[in-house]
Amino acid sequence: MSLDINRKIIQKNAFRITKKRNKTAIRIRVPGGHLQTKYFSIIAQIAEEYGNGSVHITTRQGFEIPDIDFKFITEVNKLLAPLINGLECSIGVSIDNPEDGYPAAGIRNISACIGNRVCPFANLDTTNLALKMEKEVYPNNFHVKIAITGCPNDCIKAHLQDFGIIGMTEPQYIYNNCIGCEACVKVCTKSVTGALSLHNHKIKKDHRRCIGCGECILKCPTSAWVRSEKTFFRLIILGRTGKKNPRLATTFLNWATEDVVIQVIKNIYALIDKEIDKSLAKEHVGYIIDRIGFNVFKAAVLKNVTLNKEIKVAQTLVFMGYQYEKDVFMNLLPHSTF
């Protein structure tokens, strides 16, 4: 890297530092993972004229174009302007001059499964929610990962994100349509949580076990189960990979509305701004909340949020994960025994 390059400015502009001297890579945001094909020509032009002719599809559903010389950053940003206008400005994201490129790169691209535009299991249009969320949180310099999945199948791996949003439906039972075939009971017992059972020719639901997946709706041959008019969400928080303490995200809110989820996420950003350790080059949100404690986090992110009547709020957080230093159970037998 050239000595006259300001690393912080480059990275904030969505260009990353690479292992090749004087070479960078641009990260292109695709909120919700949905992209009109007309933008492929822009990505191809940048890769062919300024990169090495290749493009990496990132794990967060964006594009990364490698091997761009630092001296071409201005030209690349100008080429990106139509894409930034189409994917960011058109949905209400505030970007003063798209020809200057991305104004921030902290928050990672908001990823989403394909949603109910295509998938029969999905309970919502995940891309639409991703665009709403993008409008609320971008541009932002905090390193945060958000993923949206249309149902508890969790195809987007929301459990590995800082904040995972899982679409849910509250299945509505129409008794007069039910023939007692138990198709819903069988699928819930074998594939989900066993929330359904048959009593006196009527289906009973254990509301504590129901996770709002909608499998019963899909399996019912007589439409005795239908999706609720209102879509609900489970907000799972503070999952992470990484070197220090990998773990799965756990439930913070259950049966929340879209408005509640969006406002809570916005409050979380305000909390990060207040509590982040500015002496560090980067502090992930999970470690901030581990440090300040759950009660401080909960009070801050629920402040001025009007909770819907169906919502359930966690009283504590229980994570499944591990710490690398706790490896006493990993002692191997002497090599000679293999």
Interval 234-253: pLDDT, tens: 999 999 998 888 999 999 99
Chain Cα centroid distance, residue 138: 14
Residue 4 has pLDDT above 80, yes or no: no
Interval 37-54: pLDDT, tens: 999 999 999 999 999 999
**CATH code, 303:** 3.30.413.10
159 and 36 co-located in one domain: no
CA dihedral 328, 330, 333, 338 (to 10 degrees): -170
138 and 251 co-located in one domain: yes
Interval 298-337: pLDDT, tens: 999 999 999 999 999 999 999 998 877 665 556 555 655 5
Q: Which residue has the tokens 């070479």?
A: 23
pLDDT at 332: 57
- In degrees, rounded to 5, the angle at the alpha carbon of residue 32 between the alpha carbons of residues 321 and 48 is 105
Number of separate domains in the chain: 3
Alpha-carbon distance of 337 to 103, in angstroms, equals 58
163 and 278 co-located in one domain: yes
Alpha-carbon distance of 31 to 62, in angstroms, equals 8
Mean pLDDT of 60-78: 97
Residue 181 has pLDDT above 60, yes or no: yes
53 and 130 co-located in one domain: no
Interval 9-35: pLDDT, tens: 999 999 999 999 999 999 999 999 999
253 and 139 co-located in one domain: yes
Residue 173 has pLDDT above 70, yes or no: yes
Residue 1 has pLDDT above 80, yes or no: no
Closest by CA to 105, choosing from 147, 66, 144, 141, is: 141
pLDDT at 95: 96
Rounded to two decimals, what is the model's pTM?
Answer: 0.93
The reply to whether 337 falls in a domain is no
238 and 194 co-located in one domain: no
Q: Residue 264's domain spans which residues?
A: 111-169+231-313
81 and 147 co-located in one domain: no
